[in-house]
Amino acid sequence: MEFNRIIRTIILVIFIGVIFYLLIDSRIRAYSLAPTLTQADMSGLVWYEIPVHYMWDYALHGWICLLFAFVLAGLFYEFVPKEFLTKYMSSKKASGYLIGIIMAPFFTVCSCTMVPIFGSIMYAGAGIGPAITFLLMAPAANILSVVVTGEMIGWDIAIIRILVSIVTALVAGIFISRTSWGKSIEKKFSSESSKNIKGKVELVKPQIDERLWSSIKFSGFLAKKILPYFILGLIAVSYVQAYLPEDVVAVYLTGITGILLASVIGGPLYTPTLVEIALGKVLLTLGMSKAALLSWLMGQPYDIPNMVAVSRIVKWKVVINYAIIALFSSIFFGMLYGIFLGII
């Protein structure tokens, strides 16, 4: 029995090690993990050949990056101490903001897990500020999208994306917690906290091989959930790559117009499936400015399904306010980045 455990642990560690090695190896050999087809390569293809060629290109280059991202997301999700959230998100202190920022990126899951946690934080009495910060931080800077952004587009953009998401999430959280309507919602949630039987949280600590296995199972779960949409999205992206004229991109997706347009369409078009990164990458190669790309990638907090789900817990007023803050912040930081790069 013990022997089997050791063998299983070794196999799982080797599996994870190989994936890490593949990524490092691609770095050393300067092998591009992003697709390499250009518009010129695709010009001779018939319409139905375009997605096939594009997806083949993605499969050849992107699989290491995607595999690594999913495995890493699974590992983090499994090994991040979840009791931490229970322990520290229950009191009304400034530390709630910090915990929100630190913990949220590791919960690489869709709004179906995030939104209930948001509701729970409200009931726990941590206040509306940390709850909003947590909610905005999770989709904007989760491990999966940061790794894919970093590997496919560039680590400069990925790191800026994290920093800017922290600022946006903090500003939105602090702003809403200071308003009178924000406070009244907070009161509605925290009042009449019934003092019934207190439960305890004493988690079972499973063996290391079981934890590794369950982390890989979670990676599989994420992949099963995200990849079908990602593949569908890639079909659409392949046509953008093949047919969108560079002149159009040059006119509409550069300069200040580019930032404004990228901010406005980035949100509603956002799908929590990494497609926004693939599309962003294509638009970048077609000539979109890096500043507009940042605004584009920051569009997540105001995607529509997420907003609808949150509005069932708190009033629309809160949702609209944080969406507006996120929109302005994506425009603001896009501009700032543009000025920094000297392209505006």
Q: Does 194 help bind another protein (rule: CB under 8 A)?
A: yes
Largest CA distance in the chain: 71
* Binding test (CB under 8 A) with another protein, winner from 36, 113, 184, 257: 113
CB of residue 89 to another protein, shortest distance in Å: 5
Piece of the chain touching another protein by CB under 8 A; list 26-34, 57-65, 115-123, 259-267: 115-123
CB of residue 274 to another protein, shortest distance in Å: 19
Compute the distance between CA of residue 257 and CA of residue 291 in angstroms, rounded to an integer.
Answer: 11
* CA atoms within a 13 Å half-sphere pointing along the CA-CB vector of 269: 19
Compute the distance between CA of residue 20 and CA of residue 67 in angstroms, rounded to an integer.
Answer: 10
Q: 3-class secondary structure for 90-116? A: CCCCCHHHHHHHHHHHHCCCCHHHHHH
182 phi/psi in degrees, rounded to 5: -60, -45
Q: Which helix (H) or strand (E) holds 135?
A: helix 128-140
Q: Does 332 help bind another protein (rule: CB under 8 A)?
A: no
CB of residue 43 to another protein, shortest distance in Å: 43
Q: What's the CA dihedral at 335, 146, 277, 66 to 10 degrees?
A: 160
Q: Does 209 help bind another protein (rule: CB under 8 A)?
A: no
* CA atoms within a 13 Å half-sphere pointing along the CA-CB vector of 328: 8
Are 104 and 137 within 8 A, CB to CB?
Answer: yes
Residue closer to another protein (CB basis): 2 or 40: 2
* Binding test (CB under 8 A) with another protein, winner from 54, 218, 322, 333: 218
Residue closer to another protein (CB basis): 119 or 299: 119
* Binding test (CB under 8 A) with another protein, winner from 11, 52, 94, 112: 112
Q: 3-class secondary structure for 171-183? A: HHHHHHHHCHHHH
CB of residue 107 to another protein, shortest distance in Å: 7
What distance lies between CA 297 and its chain's CA centroid? Answer: 9
Q: Letter for the amino acid at 287?
A: G
* Binding test (CB under 8 A) with another protein, winner from 50, 115, 237, 279: 115
The Cα-based distances of 80 to 10, 75, 83, 233 in angstroms read 21, 8, 9, 31
Are 118 and 135 within 8 A, CB to CB?
Answer: yes
Q: Between residue 65 and residue 84, which ones bind another protein under the rule CB under 8 A?
A: 77-78, 82-83
Residue closer to another protein (CB basis): 123 or 243: 123
Q: Between residue 9 and residue 68, which ones bind another protein under the rule CB under 8 A?
A: none
Compute the distance between CA of residue 67 and CA of residue 143 in angstroms, rounded to an integer.
Answer: 13
Piece of the chain touching another protein by CB under 8 A; list 48-56, 189-197, 236-244, 335-343: 189-197
Piece of the chain touching another protein by CB under 8 A; list 200-208, 249-257, 277-285, 296-304: 200-208
Q: Between 169 and 188, how does the x/- string for binding to another protein read (CB under 8 A)?
A: --------------------
Q: Does 4 help bind another protein (rule: CB under 8 A)?
A: no
* Binding test (CB under 8 A) with another protein, winner from 1, 28, 46, 197: 197
CB of residue 52 to another protein, shortest distance in Å: 31
Per-residue DSSP letter, 52: H
Number of residues that bind another protein (CB under 8 A): 42
Binding site for another protein (CB under 8 A): 77-78, 82-83, 85-87, 89-90, 107, 112-113, 115-121, 123-124, 126, 189, 192-204, 206, 214, 217-218, 221, 313
